[in-house]
Structure 1
Amino acid sequence: MSPWTISLALVISAFLASWVVHAAIYRLSMHLLSRREEYWRALLRQTKGPARLTLTILALTGAVVSAPLDPRHEAVAGHLLLIGIILCLVWVVRTAMDIWLSMHLRRYRTDVADNLAARKHVTQSRILQRVADTLLLVLGAGAVTMTFEGARQIGISILASAGAAGIVLGFALQPIMRNLFAGIQLAITQPIRMDDAVIVQGEWGNIEEISSSYVVIRIWDKRRLVVPLTYFIEQPFENWTREDATLIGTVMIYLDYSVRVEDIRETVAAFLNQNPLWDRDVFAVQVTDFREFVMEIRILATASSAPRVFDLRCEIREHLARYLQETYPESLPRLRGSFEMASTEK
């Protein structure tokens, strides 16, 4: 029997044996794990493919070592199998992290009114996941690259020289490292969180996505503003929900001095008491300025979120417009003047 025939038989046998062994181990593990151990059961289900592939590669490695192959062919096959094992391990670790994160975030609801703590955990977990994914990808790529003799020699030369090549490599990796450290800093300090209401470059919107290199802001008119991750570390911006989602809405009106401020205060108070958008926290009607022809009246009212504050301000304006039309139709700002009859005597 030729060496190639023996080698092929060993490879086929290793392939079939690995699949049978994996199926037996998988069924036994799922049977032994109780239904309450949800994480491990989910991990076994999600990593079934990479685990089977890893076991197959290990079996094929043993078959290649045992097969009567030429040393050169054996070295090439062994190298390819080593790369396959590294990629499978990266796959398994990545899947395990995703499963743990999804199960961890189940405990936090962001669809409720008071969701500050939930958004904090979700943001922190998402950012750390992006950082871990980047590190895992870099380590995996580095491990695969270092299996090549030429790459090892280049790496040793760079470390030994610490000269121009090291400087060039440092400049090349600078954007990656900046985003990596910016992500870690965002996860720790949390100047922004998922679904925060922010104003960036004059645009108001909510944080929709935080990746390893950029942040996506959902603008109120459904546009998307994509900002580099480092922007929120290096540039000033407004965060309306940093500590609390409650906001104070302001409505400014300019009326004639003939209007009684008490009437404005009473009608706005009655309107707010019947409005579900008002959170019953802050309400004020104040004359904030006297101008030449009008007085400036400021109305303050709070709501539980930025969208509700915007809607509440609009409804207050609409109510006041209707009230003034019905009660004080002459209250809009007017220009006063006096006229004197010209003398007709000569």
Structure 2
Amino acid sequence: MNSLVLLPTVLGGSVLVTAASGWAVDLLLRRAAARHPETPLWHLLRRCRRALRIVLLAALLRGAYRHTAWPPLQDNAATVDRILSLTLIGAGAWLIVAVSSAVVESGYARYATGTRDPARVRRVRTQVTLMTRVVTVVVAVVAIAAMLLTFPSFRALGTSVLASAGIIGIVAGVAAQSTLGNLFAGFQIAFGDMVRIGDTVVVAGEWGLVEDITLTYLAVRTWDERRITMPVSYFTTRPFENWSRGGAQMTGTAFLHCDHGAPVDLMRDKAHEILHNCPEWDGRGWDLAVTETTPSTIVVRVIVTAKDADDLWTVRCAVREQLIAWLVAKHPDALPRILVEPPPGAETAERVRATTQGTRGT
């Protein structure tokens, strides 16, 4: 048969077989997802169909293009083989990463749905995220190595590289000491349960939520939407505050400076009323007491509780604002006062004192 007829036949047949196979696999996945809606695996696997089609097309073309007997392809068979091999390796690595990510995400989704403890969910999420990235890095390294081995020059180079692997390993270890330290610190954070995605932490004087954890860095989102990026080794070598450790429930304080004549008992009753009308207060406990005095004021401390850091902030602000508003409206004399002129009677007493001293002098 003429090569000009075989070429479109082989190419068209490969494309048709690839399209039909991809459609059949997608149809099976859709039916499986419809029969088992509680399992997100089948829906997630549908994201792999593009990589699957590339793998099938590259494999079919690599096995069938020689049968076309087309002179340009026969003359450049080595180059065509290498291009198709590289495509097959790259698409295969993409398919492996996509399938493994779908399986891991499906398992995490089912675990998160059946678990009521948010701390455990955050821990598993952190571990799953890091494991997925490790698999991606390993597959990418293996794929790149396989691609390089398709070139004869790199095969010859491999012998000399293996001969000097010891020296290269020592040099690379010294040069990448910081990177390797962060890498192992990432594994320590993931499986040591030190910090998890979604935890409330205080690092370097900044309060925020752990937004992302990778093998080398950790991102903290502050209350004003800033992102603080820190190496993961920071959390294994320096102390930091993890407010979510051991549970999300928290206890906080609100301080008020008042006059010495402030009605503390009435303030205690008002604070109790404010907390009962505050939906963010979890009801675990509260207290109001005078914790310090100065020559001009007293310090009133209100202790409140909440289910997490966000609600605690809201409760503290509500208690502070409403207590101050109540004092301004009902007991303005309880607020701190600064005397800018002598009190009534002070001028008369000063004159009497001056007159007495003048009489003694004469």
TM-score (ref. length: structure 2):
0.80
Task: Report the equivalent of 2:225.
Answer: 222
2:212 counterpart SS class: strand
Distance change in 2, residues 1:86/1:199 (3 Å): same
1:47 counterpart SS class: helix
Deviation at 1:302, TM superposition (A): 0.7
Q: Percent identity?
A: 30
Task: Report the equivalent of 2:184.
Answer: 181
Q: 1:330 aligns with which of 333, 340, 352?
A: 333
Contact 2:289 2:300 in 1 (8 A): yes
Task: Report the equivalent of 2:34.
Answer: 35
Task: Report the equivalent of 2:301.
Answer: 298
Deviation at 1:335, TM superposition (A): 7.2
Contact 1:198 1:240 in 2 (8 A): yes
Contact 2:41 2:106 in 1 (8 A): no
Distance (Å, rounded) in 1 between the aligned partners of 2:18 and 2:245: 53
Distance (Å, rounded) in 2 between the aligned partners of 1:31 and 1:275: 48
Deviation at 1:165, TM superposition (A): 3.3
Task: Report the equivalent of 2:273.
Answer: 270
Larger mean CA deviation between 74-83 and 328-337 belongs to 328-337
Question: Can you list the C-alpha shifts for 1:110-156, whole angstroms capped at 9, x where unaligned?
Answer: 9x997333322222222222222222222222222232233333333
The number of equivalent residue pairs is 344
In the alignment, structure 1 segments of 5+ residues that lack a partner are none
Contact 2:30 2:42 in 1 (8 A): no
Distance (Å, rounded) in 2 between the aligned partners of 1:32 and 1:333: 72
Distance change in 2, residues 1:240/1:113 (3 Å): farther
- 1:97 aligned onto 2:100: yes
Larger mean CA deviation between 34-43 and 250-259 belongs to 34-43
Task: Report the equivalent of 1:162.
Answer: 165
Q: 1:283 aligns with which of 266, 283, 286?
A: 286
Contact 2:251 2:312 in 1 (8 A): yes
Distance (Å, rounded) in 2 between the aligned partners of 1:147 and 1:7: 28
**Aligned letter for 1:8?**
L
Deviation at 1:39, TM superposition (A): 5.3
Task: Report the equivalent of 2:56.
Answer: 55
Distance (Å, rounded) in 2 between the aligned partners of 1:188 and 1:133: 18
Task: Report the equivalent of 2:137.
Answer: 134
Deviation at 1:71, TM superposition (A): 8.0
Larger radius of gyration: 2
Distance (Å, rounded) in 1 between the aligned partners of 2:11 and 2:328: 89
Deviation at 1:72, TM superposition (A): 7.2
Distance (Å, rounded) in 1 between the aligned partners of 2:279 and 2:22: 58
Deviation at 1:36, TM superposition (A): 3.0
Let me know the Cα RMSD of the aligned residues: 3.4
Distance change in 2, residues 1:202/1:44 (3 Å): closer
In the alignment, structure 2 segments of 5+ residues that lack a partner are none
More helix by share: 2
- 1:151 aligned onto 2:150: no
**Aligned letter for 2:217?**
Y
Distance (Å, rounded) in 2 between the aligned partners of 1:114 and 1:162: 48
